[in-house]
Amino acid sequence: MSGDLEIRPIEGDDEVRDCATLMVSSEPWITLGRTLEQATGIITSPIREVCVGTIDGEIVGFVVLIMKGIFVGFVQTLAVRPELRSRGFGAVLMEYAEERILRDFPNVFLCVSSFNEGAQRFYRRLGYEVVGELKDLILRGHSEILMRKTTGPFSEFRRRS
Q: What is the pLDDT of residue 161?
A: 63
Burial class from Cβ neighbours inside 10 Å (0-12, 13-18, 19+) for residue 80 reads buried
What share of the chain has pLDDT > 70, as a percent? 98
Is 20 inside any structural domain? yes
Q: What is the pLDDT of residue 156?
A: 87
Total domains in the fold of the chain: 1
Is 84 inside any structural domain? yes
Q: What is the pLDDT of residue 157?
A: 85
Q: Is there a contact between 60 and 1 (Cβ–Cβ < 8 Å)?
A: yes
Give the pLDDT mean for 17-31. Answer: 95
Is 130 inside any structural domain? yes
Give the pLDDT mean for 119-134. Answer: 96
Note the pLDDT tens digit of each residue in 32-79. 999 999 999 999 999 899 999 999 999 999 999 999 887 889 999 999
Is 1 inside any structural domain? no
Instruction: Provide CB contacts within 8 A for 47, sequence distance 6+.
Output: 66, 67, 68, 69
Q: What is the pLDDT of residue 158?
A: 80
Which domain, by its residues, includes 16? Answer: 6-156
Is 161 inside any structural domain? no
What share of the chain has pLDDT > 90, as a percent? 84
Domain CATH code at residue 78: 3.40.630.30
- pLDDT for residue 2 is more than 70: no
- pLDDT for residue 139 is more than 90: no
